[in-house]
Structure 1
Amino acid sequence: MTLPVTLAEVVEVHRITPRTARITFEARELADTVGTAPDQQLKLCFPRPGQAEPVLPERRDDPMDWYRAYLAIPEAERPVLRSFTLRRRRPGTRLVEIDFVLHGDTGPAAAWALRAAPGDRLGMVGPSALYAPPVPFAEAAAAADWVLLAGDESALPALATLVGALPDGVRALAFVEVADEAERQPLDGPAGLDVHLLHRDGAAPGTVLTGAVRAAELPTGVPFAWLAGEAGAVRALRRHLVEERGVPKPSVDFTGYWRHRLTQDDAPTAEDLADAREWSAGR
């Protein structure tokens, strides 16, 4: 399976909340299927200081060959790779919107987004079926008795696309933790959607979210649960649903997007590795 790789140029930057920037890119190449399904994951390649655009390996038929070629680029030139979710594709165009959480000037993605301006260029790897879940979201949601969506602001782009893909007549609960009142974003969905927007207000990441789900009176029956955000909070929620609520493991789709006090470049912890094995087993 060929991994889609292209350059994408910034055409618009819009601050949708004080800490979230929605950046519109024009991709040089974009498959017709991009933007047609929810929760489409991709990777962005950020240029190193002094580079006008990232150094990218040529497209390869084997995704692992492409990644090996990426690793073979000298470290000083090799672009920084980070995972994102496609927020939206503008119909009939090669324009895509991606939301960036602006958590300061420490991480490469947030630091780049703080300064992004029209004309800046990134590499875009995907979206690809390689990153897609084994069962499409709408199919999994329709087969369940109800749907649970839970995440923090890093999960909002994906969660918003999932809400938009909920089948008619499905009952769904969404729990979303954001920093404070100013970071609230509307979630528009079908009549059966019940949204709980939660404010962290200085609490440790994930604690308000996990507390709200634990305290919630959830519907009866077997849900399809989608969990994403800070890895420790996702882990705690998954354990709560499986061990305390009796939700079958296959009914929980979970992804730790980031780790409190650790970066993506830090080594995985034992719990991270265990989560990765569980996630892979579900695929």
Structure 2
Amino acid sequence: MTTAVAAPFRFFSLQVVRTRRLGPSLVRVTFAGPDLAAFHSDGRDQSLSLFLPHPGQPEPVVPIELGDGWWQAWRELPDDVRAVMRSYTLRALRRDPDEIDIDFVLHGVEPGAAAPAGPASRWAARAAAGDRVLLLGPAIADNRAIRFRPPEDTDLVVIWGDATALPAVSAILEALPADLPARVWLEVHDAGDIQDLSTAADAEITWLVHDRRDHTTDRAEGSPMALGALHSAQLPPAEHPYAWIAGESSCVKALRRHLVGERGIDRRRVTFVGYWREGLTEEQLRAAE
């Protein structure tokens, strides 16, 4: 069942068709379903809302039949009934057959993890063909949930992302024009999460591997590793640079301050997106906002 919500977005009823482990902390889940014929996106960092069932539920519980009133009705459901909602980025859209890929970062699913896995990590780690989900996504290709929009005169692209931004960065790199200079920093949890990324751009990609043994790092002002890497980097000369930074919100803010205040990049040419916030679940983050 599908119901229009607020153009250009709608619900899509999907099923898992396969999964693939990309690394110790990453798994790719491929979804399909007749609804995807109406799914359209021209974006490289297309944001989506994914609704997952609780263990034992055959499908996520979202009262979409209420139309525009679904949100309030969903919030009023009991915690153990209401579908788990998480924000993700589209990794890929394919036709013939219609499929989409979403990459999940797995937290706390490994034996002896310092913190327990959240509901989305648990679901993704166990996802199997036939599992049902609901997705709130775009029915119009150019929509407000696309943020990577470099101006036409861009002559240098600067990118930073943590593991949650890796799907978007991968898609962005694939779409960059040939020979466009790009400098990219990607921060991941494990060296095994490093991927071979495809691009026609003149891209220099630096992988930063987070030291999981260090539990003392104060992230209130962002990742020292990311800040150190960008502070020491020599960027190629450019008259019209454009920057895209996404990931943990405090780190994103600190990097934006560096790019605007110290690098002199026009703040209007810096796109910054906080995908998550250290110490807060998505429910807590929504409540805080």
1:118 corresponds to which of 126, 129, 154: 129
Aligned-partner SS, 2:229: helix
Q: How does 1:95-244 map to 2 (within 5 A)?
A: 95-105=99-109, 106-127=117-138, 129-133=143-147, 137=149, 140=150, 142-202=152-212, 203=214, 204=217, 206-220=223-237, 221-244=239-262
SS at match of 2:35: coil
Residues 277 and 285 of structure 2 are in contact (CA less than 8 Å); yes or no, is this contact kept in structure 1?
Answer: no
Contact 1:171–1:192 (8 Å) recurs in 2: yes
User: Equivalent pairs: percent with the same residue?
Assistant: 39
> Of residues 17, 25, 28 in structure 2, which corresponds to 1:22?
28
Distance 1:21 1:44, change over 3 A: same
Compared with structure 1, are the counterparts of its residues 171 and 11 closer, same or farther at alpha carbon in structure 2 (3 Å cutoff)? same
Per-residue deviation, residues 181-211 of structure 1 (Å, max 9, x unmatched)? 2110112111411111122233547332221
**Contact in 1 for aligned 2:188/2:209 (Cα 8 Å):** yes
In the alignment, what sits opposite 1:277? none
SS at match of 1:4: strand
Shift of 1:254: 0.7
* Distance change (3 Å), C-alpha of 1:251 and 1:61: farther
1:58 maps to a residue whose letter is I
**For residue 57 of structure 1, what is the aligned residue in structure 2?**
63
Who is 1:276 aligned against? none
**How far apart in 1 are the matches of 2:82 and 2:47?**
21
**Cα distance in 2 between the residues matched to 1:59 and 1:245:** 50
Partner of 2:112: none
For the structure 1 residues 104 and 127, does the alpha-carbon distance in structure 2 shift closer, same or farther, using more than 3 Å as the test? Answer: farther
Which residue identity lines up with residue 109 of structure 1 in the other structure?
A
CA positional deviation for 1:35: 4.9
Distance 2:206 2:151 in 1: 19
The answer for the alignment partner of 1:278 in structure 2 is none
231-240 or 198-207: which moved more?
A: 198-207
**Is residue 34–residue 127 contact of structure 1 (8 Å, CA) maintained in 2?**
yes
Q: Distance in 1 between matches of 2:57 and 2:67?
A: 27
TM-score, normalization by structure 1: 0.85
Task: State the alpha-carbon separation in 1 of the partners of residues 119 and 10 from structure 2.
Answer: 23
Q: Paired residues, what number?
A: 265
Counterpart contact for 1:141–1:170, Cα < 8 Å: no
- Which portions of structure 1, spanning 4 or more consecutive aligned residues, are displaced by more than 6 angstroms? none
Question: Who is 1:71 aligned against?
Answer: 75
Mapped partners of 2:245, 2:94: distance in 1: 27
Instruction: Give me the whole-angstrom Cα distance separating, in 1, the residues matched to 2:44 and 2:269.
Output: 18
> Which consecutive residues of structure 2, in runs of 5 or more, have no partner in the other structure?
1-5, 110-116
- The answer to whether the Cα contact below 8 Å between 2:182 and 2:201 also exists between their aligned partners in 1 is no
AA partner of residue 251 (structure 2) = A
Where do 5+ consecutive residues of structure 1 fail to align? 274-283
